[in-house]
Amino acid sequence: MDLEHSPAWGALTKLHAQHHHSTIAEHFALDPKRAARLSIQHDGLLFDYSKTGLTDSIKAGLIALADQQALDTQKNAMFSGAHINNSEDRAVMHVALRAPRDAAYHVDGRNISDDIHDTLDHMRRFCDTIHKGEWRGHNGQPIKTIVHIGIGGSDLGPYMVCDALKDFALNGMNIHFVSNVDGAALHNCLGQINPDETLFLIASKSFTTEETLKNAESAKAWFLKTTGAAHEAIAKHFAAMTVNVDAAVTFGIDADNIFGFGAYVGGRFSLWSSIGLPIALYLGFDHFTALLNGAHAMDQHFLHAPNHENLPVLLGLIGIWHRNFCTYESLAILPYAQNLTALPAYLQQMDMESNGKTVDRNGRDLPYATGPVIFGASGTNGQHAFYQLIHQSQTIIPCEFIAFKTALSPLQDHHDALLCHVLAQSRALMIGRKSEATAPEKHFSGNRPSTTLIVDALSPYHLGQILALYEHKIFVQGAIWGLNSYDQPGVELGKILAKEISGALPTIKNGQSATTSFDPSTQNMLDYLFKN
């Protein structure tokens, strides 16, 4: 049965029609226990979803939708290694990356927990030799600087985690991330480092991504030229994390310095795999392990908690309510933590690349909306940038606030101020403000939904929990929409056309007409940019 004609969908449509005139503030007035009832405390987290339009009947309707869409069966299929990425005929097993060895997850009859823990052991040994100063560069210097080269899922996760947890970094370790093919990124980085004490990590699941390979080749050429070292020195200064071991060897990386992972790990879910090596090198292996443990704890919660108190399920269902029934098109993710400045971009890829899809798993054009437009910034910076529109424009944008009980800095009064702001924002969105007729510009309509996640501390364990929470939220939504959250065909066309344009450049630079016929706009700009 089509989702949009199903009983649970129909019931929710009716509930929306019945309830959309009542305001969130009215719900609170009718139910003094609403805040306690519509919030959950779990393992150092408080999730408050009382400042949304959810009522008991809407919550029950959403859980009925999850049941109707066989969410539990789909969840068990992922955890049991079924090929839920059907277009690529692959299992989706990032959960296995943070499980203990004795979890014995299987894919295609193979115990991948053994492979995963063998790789973790290899990573730990590698980190140890570097941290103890036993690993020496081409002229005997210990490694002090990591340059991580990757893009998309092979960059955003490690970058975000290293930035978020920089207060836990090992003394004397520096890290840089280079992703953009714009040479300014690599050039700026190379200008700041000493090649003799630098380790370049080349991160690419496919080892075919143009941006990463170009940056890696240029880094290698720079290293050899600047140090004057022989080609063999590459083995001491370059390592790779990839599924495509042969391509990494061809690039010149020593086979011992290649850290693999399974094809069942999607790029945007890969920071838990060897792609997380820069995290372990920068923060220490124990902190990387704590990050994995936090994610594993959330996996267990997702797997076992009943839907009405299951954090990823509720976060996902609230998103479905907002997207499909309230028809809100965007979602703001607003971490009130300076060190989580990179989190919105990370979650943007995770969500938009997963659920921004045009067809369902069977290739049918989706007649209903799927993934929202995700954006965000760290609070309070966002308040002074785009919150004006969130508070007063005609567009309703649900907000997901994330705040931390404990301060990271010793400046407790700053932390108190930060927390006052996050609470003020969700309250302002809900209650609004009536203005005097003489000042209509000061009117706030209010009744704008938000959820707030309060986390004990920005620690490796709790960050692991938060990231797994969002991974599973996205799974829940994809499962209900009936789409494949684990492929990304929408990024391919641009790559193909960029190759085509690149192939035409020599001819155009020679002042001749390209053999490929481009649309007039593209041709015009190509001539403007490249014709002599």
Exactly one of 148, 176, 236, 353 is catalytic; name it: 353
495 is catalytic: yes
Taking CB under 6 A as the criterion, the residue among 119, 204, 450, 484 binding ligand F6P is 204
Q: Which of 14, 225, 308, 384 is catalytic?
A: 384
Kindly report the number of other CB atoms within 10 A of residue 442's CB atom. 11
Please, which residue, 212 or 339, has the CB nearer to ligand F6P? 212
195 vs 371, which CB is nearer to ligand F6P?
371
- CA quadruple 43, 45, 50, 55: dihedral, nearest 10: -30
Residue range at the interface with ligand F6P (CB under 6 A); choices 43-51, 56-64, 149-157, 415-423? 149-157
Pairwise CA distance, residues 479 & 258, whole Å: 35
Catalytic position from the list 14, 495, 499, 531:
495
Residue 61 or 157 having the CB closest to ligand F6P: 157
- Strands of 277-422, DSSP E: 330-335, 373-375, 399-404
Shortest separation between residue 269's beta carbon and ligand F6P, angstroms: 9
Minimum distance between the CB of residue 358 and ligand F6P, rounded to whole angstroms? 16
- Which residues on neighbouring strands pair with residue 175, listed in sequence order? 146
Find, among 382, 389, 374, 368, the residue nearest to 330 by Cα: 374
Q: Which helix (H) or strand (E) holds 357?
A: none
Nearest CA among 26, 51, 23 for reference residue 37: 51
Give how many residues touch ligand F6P by CB under 6 A. Answer: 14
Q: Which two tokens stand for residue 304?
A: 């076992």
In the beta sheet, which residues pair with residue 199? 146
Q: How far apart are CA 219 and CA 201, in angstroms?
A: 10
Residue nearest to ligand F6P (CB): 267
Strand order in the sheet with 373-375: 39-42, 45-48, 450-455, 399-404, 330-335, 373-375
For residues 433 to 472, the per-residue mask of contacts with ligand F6P, x marking binding by CB under 6 A and - elsewhere, is ----------------------------------------
Contact region with ligand F6P (CB under 6 A), list: 199-207, 320-328, 410-418, 477-485: 199-207
Nearer to ligand F6P, 48 or 487 (CB): 487
Smallest distance, Å, CB 200 to ligand F6P? 15
- Nearest-angstrom CA–CA distance, 48 and 316: 14
Question: How far, in whole angstroms, is CA 331 from its chain's centroid?
Answer: 14
Is the Cβ of residue 8 or residue 240 nearer to ligand F6P in the bound state? 240
Q: How far is the CB of 353 from ligand F6P (least distance, A)?
A: 6
* Distance between CA atoms of residues 259 and 257, nearest Å: 6
What sign results for the dihedral spanned by CA atoms 354, 63, 298, 89? negative
Is 267 a binder of ligand F6P (CB under 6 A)?
yes
Q: Which is nearer to ligand F6P, 163 or 353 (CB)?
A: 353
CB burial string 466-501: b at 16+ within 10 A, e below: bbbbbbbbbbbbbbbbbbbbbbbeeeeeeeeeeeeb
In the complex, what is the shortest distance from the CB of residue 493 to ligand F6P, in angstroms, rounded to a whole number? 12
Q: How far apart are CA 90 and CA 109, in angstroms?
A: 13
Give the SS3 label for residue 514: coil
Touching ligand F6P, residues 318-377 (CB under 6 A): 353
Give min distance, CB of 488 to ligand F6P, in A.
5
Q: Is 436 a known active-site residue?
A: no
- Binding piece for ligand F6P, criterion CB under 6 A, among 46-54, 204-212, 246-254, 331-339: 204-212
Shortest Å distance, C-beta 214 to ligand F6P: 12
Q: Distance between CA 532 and CA 528 in Å, rounded?
A: 9
Part in contact with ligand F6P (CB under 6 A); list of ranges 201-209, 388-396, 417-425, 507-515: 201-209
**CB proximity list for 500: less than 8 A, separation 6 or greater:** 516
Q: Which of residues 481-520 bind ligand F6P (CB under 6 A)?
A: 488, 491
- Candidates 73-81, 163-171, 203-211, 407-415 — which segment interacts with ligand F6P by CB under 6 A? 203-211
Q: How many CB atoms lie within 10 A of CB 252?
A: 16
Q: Shortest approach of ligand F6P to residue 156 CB, angstroms?
A: 8
152 binds ligand F6P (CB under 6 A): yes
> How many Cβ atoms sit within 10 Å of the Cβ of residue 378?
19
Give yes or no: 14 in active site.
Answer: no
Shortest gap between Cβ of 159 and ligand F6P (angstroms)? 12
Considering beta carbons, is residue 215 or 324 the nearer one to ligand F6P? Answer: 215
- Is 153 a binder of ligand F6P (CB under 6 A)? yes
Can you tell me which of 131, 148, 268, 415 binds ligand F6P, judged by CB under 6 A?
A: 268
The yes or no reply on residue 206 touching ligand F6P (CB under 6 A) is: yes
> 158 with 148: CB under 8 angstroms?
yes
The set of residues, in sequence order, having a beta carbon less than 8 Å from that of 520 and lying 6+ positions away, is: none
Stretch of 20-28, 30-38, 148-156, 333-341 lying at the interface with ligand F6P (CB under 6 A):
148-156
Provide, rounded to whole angstroms, the least separation between the CB of residue 344 and ligand F6P.
17
Q: Quote the CA–CA distance of 32 and 23 in Å, as a whole number.
A: 15
Q: Exactly one of 148, 176, 205, 462 binds ligand F6P (CB under 6 A); which one? A: 205
Q: Please identify, using beta-carbon distances, which residue of 152 and 449 lies nearer to ligand F6P.
A: 152
Task: Provide the annotated active-site residues.
Answer: 353, 384, 495
Could you list the residues that contact ligand F6P (CB under 6 A)? 151-154, 204-206, 209, 212, 267-268, 353, 488, 491
